[in-house]
A and B are shown apart, each in its own frame.
Chain A
Amino acid sequence: GENVEQHPSTLSVQEGDSAVIKCTYSDSASNYFPWYKQELGKGPQLIIDIRSNVGEKKDQRIAVTLNKTAKHFSLHITETQPEDSAVYFCAAPMNRDDKIIFGKGTRLHILP
């Protein structure tokens, strides 16, 4: 069935180090892959997205890579800072039904 799997569920990294979160999806027709960040007590907010016609996209300290053949995409955060601590969600659209399926989330802790 339609599914988006996200790993790991929890990730702790030392401040200044890099963090990587990975997702796989099942619908080979998907062509848009957003990442959302959710801070405590707030709704998720888009931080970066990638469309299937490119393999990588960067925005300052964050980047997303996409491997359509393997049906997986990853979020990379470099030079992590305390404000990066949050829950991160990947998502992929299920084109047949005009809806987006979210991964279960990764809680990222930045250690001082």
Chain B
Amino acid sequence: NAGVTQTPKFRVLKTGQSMTLLCAQDMNHEYMYWYRQDPGMGLRLIHYSVGEGTTAKGEVPDGYNVSRLKKQNFLLGLESAAPSQTSVYFCASSYILGADQETQYFGPGTRLLVL
């Protein structure tokens, strides 16, 4: 049981380049999330998904797209990277939120540097 895994661990991009961050979970969780973490800003939600085939915007969605084609995977895409997207990106998953709030399990993070 690997939990939540993220690839890659570290990436350097030039402004304007595109890339996809992959998140995978093996806990059969319904909900998945992408956060970015910047110094002094805590964890800010980019996009999230409440089930296979669904996505929704979080607090800071601009410049990012996501897809949840398979229940176990949640992809975060940057179509045209900007220096402001330099950050550490965390993926998380949970069973459900709502009536029965549940723990979020986080991946180890992807450090992205945009030059």
A-side residues, CB < 8 A to B, are 6, 9, 31-32, 34, 36, 41-46, 49, 51, 89, 93, 95, 97-105
| The one of A44, A49, A51 that contacts B43, using a Cβ cutoff of 8 Å | A44
Determine if B18 is an interface residue (Cβ-Cβ < 8 Å). no
Which residues of A are found within 8 Å of B77, using beta-carbon distances? none
Number of B interface residues at 8 Å Cβ cutoff, please give it.
27
User: Which residues 1-51 in B have Cβ within 8 Å of A in the complex?
Assistant: 4, 31, 33, 35, 40-45, 48, 50
With A98-B48, A98-B98 as given contacts, are A89 and B106 in contact (CB-CB < 8 Å)?
A: no
- How far apart are A10's CB and chain B's nearest CB, in angstroms? 10
Q: Binary interface profile of B, 36-72, with partner A (CB < 8 Å = 1, else 0)?
A: 0000111111001010000010110000000000000
**Contact A99 B106, beta carbon cutoff 8 Å:** no
**Contact A45 B106, beta carbon cutoff 8 Å:** yes
Which residues of B are found within 8 Å of A98, using beta-carbon distances? 31, 48, 50, 56, 97-98
**Contact A102 B97, beta carbon cutoff 8 Å:** no
Determine if B90 is an interface residue (Cβ-Cβ < 8 Å). yes
- How far apart are B62's CB and chain A's nearest CB, in angstroms? 17
| The one of B40, B41, B45, B109 that contacts A42, using a Cβ cutoff of 8 Å | B109
**Contact A44 B101, beta carbon cutoff 8 Å:** no
User: Which residues 87-107 in B have Cβ within 8 Å of A in the complex?
Assistant: 90, 92, 97-98, 101, 103-107
- Offer 5 A-B interface pairs, CB within 8 angstroms, sorted by A: A32-B97, A34-B104, A43-B4, A49-B103, A102-B35
